[in-house]
């Protein structure tokens, strides 16, 4: 035998151990403790005040697979509690390993808590490391059983980590895909601010519009400042505000702006200056869009 164990290989003798498969499952699916997506997933049902039934299901415990087969169940007796006392019991899957024989086993049992008059605590359990330490015991808490006197008042699920099947995972991902695409779209649609300059040519009118490629899919506004022309304050004369139609009323004749194919164009019929296109004038602009 080599200095590395070839698990999936013929050795001429028995050589594959449970721990080999356990390590592989832990590597593939995670080294934690999970209920797998099959059957009734070890659901709990109160049968009586001294009996809790655990339905069929599959458990992966640090790579070790334990199960209650389909259509089967395990009844867990709950010891009687005294009247007037509160108590928390834990239903756990207990893994054990015999130190002498190395025989491993799992059982679902109830660990009985202390009866108290107020604020009951969960009983202690053993959290062993099977993978690394070869622990002789490991308890996986499945449920907390709450008792008030002789009555079971409720059951709390403690093993909340569910391990979906590959099929379930693929289905969940495909269902989430539109949501992810929307999220990506919104990221791509982040508000962007662009700035630049252009030098006017001195032409005017609808046949000679000033054009500027912005590249926004949806422009919000553009502010143009001429270096020598009269520019009103931004409050009273905003810019080419493309969020709504421009309303007249300013002292400065406003060009007609339109935006198509990522390009803003505008003109003024009477004055190149009012078209922000005075000859030789450098115009600074700032644009917001998505």
**Other CB atoms closer than 10 Å to residue 179's CB: what's the count?**
9
From 83, 141, 136, select the one nearest 111 (Cα to Cα).
141
In angstroms, give the least distance from the CB of 182 to other proteins: 21
In angstroms, give the least distance from the CB of 160 to other proteins: 42
Q: Is 227 in contact with 281 (CB distance < 8 Å)?
A: yes
In angstroms, give the least distance from the CB of 172 to other proteins: 36
Q: Determine if 104 is a binding residue for other proteins (CB under 8 A).
A: no
- Name the pairing type of β-strands 33-36 and 162-163: parallel
Q: Determine if 198 is a binding residue for other proteins (CB under 8 A).
A: yes
Q: Determine if 202 is a binding residue for other proteins (CB under 8 A).
A: yes
CA torsion, points 126, 130, 134, 138, in degrees to nearest 10?
20
Q: Which residue reads 């001195």 in tokens? A: 202
- Report how far apart, in Å, the C-alpha atoms of 168 and of each of 123, 172, 173 are: 35, 6, 8
Q: Determine if 220 is a binding residue for other proteins (CB under 8 A).
A: yes
Nearer to other proteins, 84 or 202 (CB): 202
Q: Determine if 250 is a binding residue for other proteins (CB under 8 A).
A: no
Nearer to other proteins, 83 or 244 (CB): 244
Binding mask 268-287 for other proteins (x = CB under 8 A): --xxxx---xxxxx------
Q: Determine if 230 is a binding residue for other proteins (CB under 8 A).
A: yes
Residues ≥6 apart with Cβ < 8 Å to 247: none
Q: Return residues touching other proteins (CB under 8 A).
A: 196-205, 207-213, 215, 220-221, 223, 225-235, 238-239, 241, 243-244, 261-263, 265, 270-273, 277-281, 288
């Amino acid at each position: 035998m080599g200095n590395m164990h070839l698990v999936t290989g013929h050795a001429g003798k028995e050589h594959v151990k449970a721990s080999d498969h356990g390590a592989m499952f832990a590597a593939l699916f995670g080294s934690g403790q999970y209920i797998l997506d099959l059957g009734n997933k070890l659901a709990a049902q109160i049968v009586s005040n001294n009996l809790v039934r655990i339905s069929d299901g599959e458990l992966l415990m640090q790579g070790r697979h334990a199960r209650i087969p389909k259509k089967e169940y395990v009844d867990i007796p709950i010891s009687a509690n005294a009247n007037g006392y509160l108590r928390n019991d834990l239903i756990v899957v207990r893994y054990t390993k015999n130190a002498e024989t190395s025989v491993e086993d799992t059982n679902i049992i109830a660990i009985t808590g202390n009866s108290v008059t107020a604020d009951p605590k969960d009983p202690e359990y053993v959290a062993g490391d099977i993978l690394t330490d070869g622990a002789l015991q490991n308890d996986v808490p499945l449920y907390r059983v709450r008792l008030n006197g002789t009555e079971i008042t409720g059951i709390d699920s403690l093993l909340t980590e569910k391990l979906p099947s590959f099929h379930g995972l693929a289905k969940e991902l495909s269902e989430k895909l539109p949501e992810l695409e929307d999220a990506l779209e919104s990221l791509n649609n982040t508000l962007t601010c662009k700035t630049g300059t252009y030098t006017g040519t001195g032409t005017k009118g609808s046949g000679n519009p000033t054009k500027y490629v912005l590249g926004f899919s949806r422009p919000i506004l553009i502010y143009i400042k001429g270096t020598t022309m009269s520019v009103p304050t931004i409050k009273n004369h905003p810019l080419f505000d493309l969020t709504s139609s421009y309303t007249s009323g300013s002292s400065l004749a406003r060009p007609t702006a339109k935006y198509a194919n990522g390009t803003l164009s505008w003109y003024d019929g009477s004055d190149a200056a009012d078209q922000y296109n005075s000859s030789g004038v450098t115009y600074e602009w700032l644009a917001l869009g998505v």
